[in-house]
Each structure stands twice: as C-alpha cells, then as structure tokens.
Amino acid sequence: MSGFAIKGWCPDAWRPMATGDGLLVRIKPRLGRLSRDQALALCALAQTCGNGMIDITRRANLQIRGVSEANWPLLIVQLIEHGLTDPDAWRERARNILIAPNWAEGDDSHRIACDLMARIDRLPPLPGKVGFVIDAGRAPILSAEPGDFRIERGADGGLILRADGRVCGTIIPFGQEAEALIALAHWFAQSGARRMARHHAPLPDWANGSQPPAPARPAIVPGGAAFGVPFGQIDASLLARTATSDLRITPWRVLILEGTPTANIPGLISDPASPLLRVDACPGAPACPQASVETRDLARRLAPVVKGRLHVSGCAKGCARSGPADITLTGRDGRFDLAANARAGAHDQTELPALTDMDPAMVLAHFGVA
Ligand code: SF4
C-alpha cells in the first residue's frame, strides 16, 4: 500500500489546506443552500482568488481551489461579507451540519438545523471530521452519508436521535432534538473517541433507545431541476450560468435549482441513467500532492463499460469514496491496483486487490476500452 498523509483535521475557510494546486478553501453553506447572489459571489471569488474550479463535497460543502496565500486574506473578508463564512473561526469549524436537501421552510429538518446552529457555541470541541446529520423528513434520505450524530424519522413516525453505527435510536420529544444532539456530543467528547461509528462504548442510558429508523428513501437523482456535477467539480463560470435561482447543494454531487426546472445545462448531468453518476474519482495528479496517477480522464473513459460503481482513487486514502465500490482502482507509485467490492487501498484479507501494478493502458485494455 502506498503511503499517504492522514491529516486528522478538515479544512474550512479559516483553515485552508495546502494542495498541489494551491490552497483549498472549504465553504459550508448554511442549510445546504446558496441564494443566487451568494452563488454568483462565490463564483466571482473562485475566479479572482482561486483557479476558477469549485468542488462539491460529500457533506454538501463547497471548495474553492487554487487560492494563493496572498489572495486568502481578501477571500475570507469577502466570504464573511456574503454570509458564506462565519466571522468566528471556532463557530465555522463547529458547524458541521448536513441537512436533508429536500427541507422546506418550517419543517422538522429546517427547524432542528436552525435550533442547532443557534446553539453552536454550546458544542464541545470535537475532532474535525465529526458531524451532525439532520434528516427529519418523512423518511431518511441521508442514511448512507457520513455523520456521527443523527436526527431522523423513526419507524413509528416520531423523530429519533441515533448515534452513527447503532441500528436503533432514541425517541426525542418535539423541540428537544438540538439539545439531545448537544448532550450526545458532550458524552462523545468526554469519552475521547474520534468517530462515532468506530466507538463501541455503551451509550448513556438516555441515548440507548430501541427505535429503528423508518425505511430509507432513495437519494435525489438528476432530472427536472436537479443536475449532477461530474466528479463533483464545476467551473465557476458554469456554476454562475446555472445559478438562475437559489440553489441547494446535496451530498450526492447534485445541485438543485429552486426555480423553474431547466431542461438541460451543457456540462451538467440531467440524465439519471448517465454512467458518470456511478463514478467516484478524486482530483488525482497533479492537483493532489498525494497522488502519483491521473484519475478523472481514466474514470471518464471507463465509466460506460464498468458495471456498477467505479472508484478511481489517486492514492489509498480514498477521499472520493469511503465505502467499497464494485470496481476500485487505487494509484500506487504511478500505477494502479484493481480490486472488486473493495475500498481504495484494499489491503486486508477481505479486500485484496485482484490485479496490481497496472499502467493506464493495461487498465483500459482490461475493460476492453480501445
Ligand atoms: S485520495 Fe485522491 S485526493 Fe485524496 S489524498 Fe489521495 S490522491 Fe489526494
């Protein structure tokens, strides 16, 4: 397995991360939403302070890439001015809240997310990757998305608090959801754990409920006013043209226009059957200093021929997808390892690579791509 740097923290606007193409500045849209004015401001900033490319992350955040150290002070001031970043660095770091993108004003998801944001100062310091999921619609739609503490619809129709990795949750009285999330976060912080899913200590009695979540619903896919973004990266000029109304950001690399549905937007995916929707590929080389291989051109060529989910990862860290894919290609020392039903960097007894040390031509030939 090739080595990679485990950062152990997450970048945000106040703490940008150095990458192969400059600083990466992460923006966390409140409620996963951008007004049209905010979207246009973000696009202009990506062009003037960054390299013009914007990422959509698996937690429905946005990233401006290619920011120079000289431009960052101007960028942070502008982000605050447009309401895209909290003026308080601690609050910005703590606000790791993923909300079901189909929320409506005043519904449970909206109400609970607003309650939690209003109480953000009461959260304990948490490891950078720890986050909250507010998924309080009629059925969970974020079950597969990363998040440590969840509010979601229970099988009996009420709302439950569920710790990630636990099958069942605790019924929470109406209006107490944000307080319950904060209390569980304090218990977690005091236990010294890093991620809830890997934390096997018994939950406190009050949080150790037996109510299962309601059956999950499928995620939102492109069609109507929803548009897939190939590999979750979009040119700022295309996003500016797309933002004809306010926008919702989803964790599925899909943008939702709140305004009138648009039939087609060149460069974005409107066909729910597009093979690109089944592909995860991180930026790879040269954008990421950890990568020794190019990823996205290869993924684009393989997408139509690989059956099921394809993951092309620049290294063993697997930033684009944490779970297994039907076919996973992992870069290592300038070549690829290929594994089936595996995570990036498959190296344990159950996920050993089937083929190793392949150059891109060998990979393409393996799948019959001329
Ligand atoms: S998985 Fe990709 S983006 Fe993540 S560190 Fe490795 S090469 Fe970089």
- 145 token code pair: 């998305």
pLDDT at 8 over 70: no
Name the 3-class secondary structure at 232: helix
Residues composing the chain: 370
Question: Rounded to a whole number, what is the distance in angstroms from the first to the last CA of the chain?
Answer: 29
pTM: 0.90
**Mutational test site, ligand 1, from 58, 233, 288, 336, max ligand atoms within 8 Å of CB:** 288
> pLDDT tens digits for 54-93?
999 989 999 999 999 999 999 999 999 999 999 999 999 9
- 213 token code pair: 């979540």
- 89 token code pair: 């660095």
Mean pLDDT of the chain: 93
**Mutational test site, ligand 1, from 7, 313, 332, 337, max ligand atoms within 8 Å of CB:** 313
| 321 CA to centre of ligand 1 in angstroms | 10
232 lines ligand 1 (CB under 6 A): no
**Contact assessment for residue 279 and residue 310, using Cβ atoms and an 8 Å cutoff:** yes
pLDDT at 2 over 50: no
Per-residue pLDDT averaged across 331-348, rounded?
A: 89
Read off the pLDDT band of 350 (50, 70, 90): low
d(CA 246, CA 73): 27
> pLDDT tens digits for 14-36?
999 998 889 999 999 999 999 99
pLDDT at 256 over 90: yes
Read off the pLDDT band of 3 (50, 70, 90): very low
**Contact assessment for residue 111 and residue 137, using Cβ atoms and an 8 Å cutoff:** no
| 118 CA to centre of ligand 1 in angstroms | 34
